[in-house]
Each structure stands twice: as C-alpha cells, then as structure tokens.
Structure 1
C-alpha cells in the first residue's frame, strides 16, 4: 500500500477527472469507486448513492479524487512533477493536458531541464512535465511556498523529514544572484523523501493568488493507533481544521491521518457494517482505531 496518497477535492467531477487521467497516462487503472450513504450525503449536501470518490493509479502512483462540493478549490500550491523518459512523451502529455488548460510555464528548454513545462489542466490540477530518463518515481508531488510562507521551504522539508519515517533530504538548490524577487538563500528546488516516497518543494516570492488549501491534501495510511497519535500530535497546528482525520500543519498544508484498514471497512459489501463505520468516524476529529473497529464489528461500547 502506498503510504502517502494525494487527495484531490472536486465538486462533482471526481470520476470524470480520474477517467481523463487514466486515458492519458500509461500504467494507469481505476482501483475503486466509493458512494455516499445516507448520513454522509446529508452532511456533504450530496445525493445518497452518488459517487463520493474514486481511487486510481497513474504511472503506478495512487491518487484519490473526492466529490466534496464547492467548499475547496484545487490550486498550484501542490502540483505534480511528471518525469518522462523521452521528449516524445513530454510532447504527448503536454498536448493532452493543455487542452482547455492554462500554461503556467511554457514548454521549452530551461537551464534546469532540456524540456520542461508547467500546465494547469481543465480541472485545475497542475502538472510539471519534464524529461528525466533516470527518475524512478514517475509522479512526484511538489509543494510551493508562497506569500506568507515564502522562504519557509527549507524549514518545512526539515520538519517533514524529522517527523516522517524513512525520510531524507536528497537535494537542495538555492536562488542565485539576480533572481529577484526571490532571496538568494531561498530554495528554488529541493528533493526529499517521506516513507521512501519522493517529494519536492520550492519557495517563490512572486505575487501568487493562491496558497495551501484542503483542495489537495496528503492522506497518510497508518497501521496502529500509536502511529495515528504520533503523526496527529506532530503535525496538527490548527484545532479548528481538525475533523474526520483531517488536520492542517503549521504551514497550512492539509493532511489526513487515517488507519489503513479504513477503506476496507467502508467498502465492505455489507452496507450495515460500512454505514456504522462511516457514522463513527464522521463524529471524530483524530480517528480512534479501536472505536472504528468496534463500529465495524457491531459491538456495543
């Protein structure tokens, strides 16, 4: 199981977007489709029986799209590097993803890469497409620290690699002289791993009209209450954002701290079991694995 899964928030196009990406990327497939039950539909303003979310893989990397309504919007604060083997692959993905999208950086040759472009697709998801034949992980989440967070990328990656297991800072590159409005000591690219998964980060002092939101969160699958407690205590920095396993850290990045058995319980073919679990965890802030298991089994507290 992939330990950290990007979780993308849509109004009502979760499955449409997933199908679109599966049709574009290689090594891609739909893994599961989840549906609203009566209580979750009432809370979310959706119709019972409608699609709640879709789990899928592109290039072997797992994503989850949720239909959550219009509360949150996806923006470029978290984007996804796509490491391509050939220039032909770069061109193909760029042409597909740019349809009805918005160019953030034109596809071109840059000092840092021979063929690179940054596109926001028609669903608002941002992709940084580049040639990197030696890269093993094809899809890499990237965090950009802007506005009040500009200049905090180094602090963030040190914090995350201290908190998460199997983590390492692999590369740090800084802005040079004459690259204003960014400061020379700020990071223009950093590569790091969390649970042996690759991530990247950068600072930008330009005037950006976005910041981290729940539009894209990072879901962490954990095996025990001890792990849930640990990550919750380390990461949560905004009590008002705590709900149903969601939290915000001190940089405003949203995380979901969940037991890895949760999806299996919610997808149980017995609708009563799944409904009991849904009802139980929707009342929680930090998730309680024992109470979720009790709900699943139908045991009295």
Structure 2
C-alpha cells in the first residue's frame, strides 16, 4: 500500500512543484502528464498532473482551475536540523507569500508550510513541564522560529 498526499492548484502547478523539489534535499519530480479527455475542469489537455516527492513523502499535484483554496487544515511541515537550513527554506518559501506566527507561512501559491527546527520537537518533549512552558512561550513570540532563543528558554 502507498499513501500519497494530493494538492490541487488553480494554476502554475508545474512551477510550484519544480520550486518545491529544488528546495528540499532528496526530492524529485516524477511524471508530468495531462488529462487527455474532456472533464469538469476543462477540455482535453487543459488539466495537468505531476507526481513528485519532497524528502521521503509522496505527492501528486493537479492543475485544474479554482476549487477550494489551500488553507491551514493541510500544511507541509519541514523539520530542519540547523538554523541555516531553516533560514534558507523560510526565505525561499516566503518570497511572494505571507509569513505567520510560530513558524507558519503561505507560499506564493497559497500552500501552508510549517518550517521548524528539529530541536523544537525535542524541547517540547522534555519531561519537565516548566521547561516546555518556557519553550512554548518563546515560540509563541516568534514568526520565523529561531533555535538560539528556544534553547535559552529551556535553560530559563
């Protein structure tokens, strides 16, 4: 059995997928195709489909006109090992998009992302509730997440 996330783009799907796969190490673009039959989204050839992977996750994307816009109920979360890696992804994905609190952003296609340091998950799983509270409070003050202040918060 294979599980694949599916993303519906109004337009520019191929550009988005090429951009995403260029940013995430270990990613690749697979098959690109068109639906060669008339369908509710348009005439034969107007609906395009792409298969791709981001890291170790499988995705399909379709460009089939407006339906439901992307929203926070689906986001792609990327755990970054270093601040430099986090900064690189954050800066690339926010271009033409919008940043949000706690490491969330929307890219130029409206897709929601959570760009977080791997270290945050470790800090949030500390057995000391006071440390977790301090880390959470520090995170809630951030837009782009920053490892150094999170580490300082855990130390008190």
User: Same fold per TM (> 0.5)?
Assistant: yes
| Deviation for aligned residue 1:201 | 0.5
User: Is the 1:151–1:186 Cα contact (8 Å) retained in structure 2?
Assistant: no
Structure 1 position 177, deviation (Å): 5.1
Contact 1:222 1:257 in 2 (8 A): yes
Q: Could you tell me which runs of 5 or more consecutive residues in structure 2 were left unpaired when the two chains were aligned.
A: none
Alignment of 1:228-267 (within 5 A): 228-236=86-94, 237-239=96-98, 241-267=99-125
Q: What is the CA distance between 1:185 and its match in structure 2?
A: 4.5
Report 1:130-145 matches (<5 A).
138-145=2-9
**Which residue of structure 2 lines up, in the alignment, with residue 172 of structure 1?**
32
2:133 to 275, 282, 287: 275
**How far apart are 1:181 and its partner, in Å?**
3.9
1:157 to 2:11 alignment: no
The higher-RCO structure (CA 8 Å, 6+ apart) is 2
* Equivalent position of 1:297 in the other structure: 155
Distance 2:19 2:6 in 1: 16
**Secondary structure in 2 aligned to 1:213?**
coil
Moved more, 276-285 or 150-159: 150-159
Structure 1 residue 165, shift from structure 2 partner: 1.3
Secondary structure at the counterpart of residue 263 of structure 1 = helix
Higher strand share goes to which structure? 1
Alignment of 1:1-301 (within 5 A): 84=1, 138-145=2-9, 150-176=10-36, 178-179=38-39, 181-182=41-42, 184-187=45-48, 189-205=49-65, 208=67, 210-236=68-94, 237-239=96-98, 241-298=99-156
Q: How many residues align?
A: 154
- In the aligned structure 2, how far is the partner of 1:161 from the partner of 1:278? 31
Q: Structure 1 length as normaliser, TM-score? A: 0.48
Distance in 2 between residues matched to 1:159 and 1:238, nearest whole Å = 14
Cα RMSD (Å) of the superposition? 1.7
- How far did residue 216 of structure 1 move? 1.2
Report the 3-state secondary structure (helix = DSSP H, G, I; strand = E; otherwise coil) of the residue aligned with 1:251.
coil
4+ aligned runs moved over 3 Å, structure 1: 177-181
CA offsets 1:91-138 (integer angstroms, 9 cap, x no match):
xxxxxxxxxxxxxxxxxxxxxxxxxxxxxxxxxxxxxxxxxxxxxxx2
Deviation, structure 1 residue 163: 1.7
TM-score normalised by length of structure 2: 0.90
The structure richer in helix per residue is 2
Structure 1 or 2, whichever has the larger Rg, is: 1
- Relative to structure 1, the CA distance from residue 272 to residue 152 in structure 2 (aligned partners, 3 Å threshold; closer, same or farther) is same
Quick one: distance in 1 between partners of 2:83 and 2:137?
A: 19
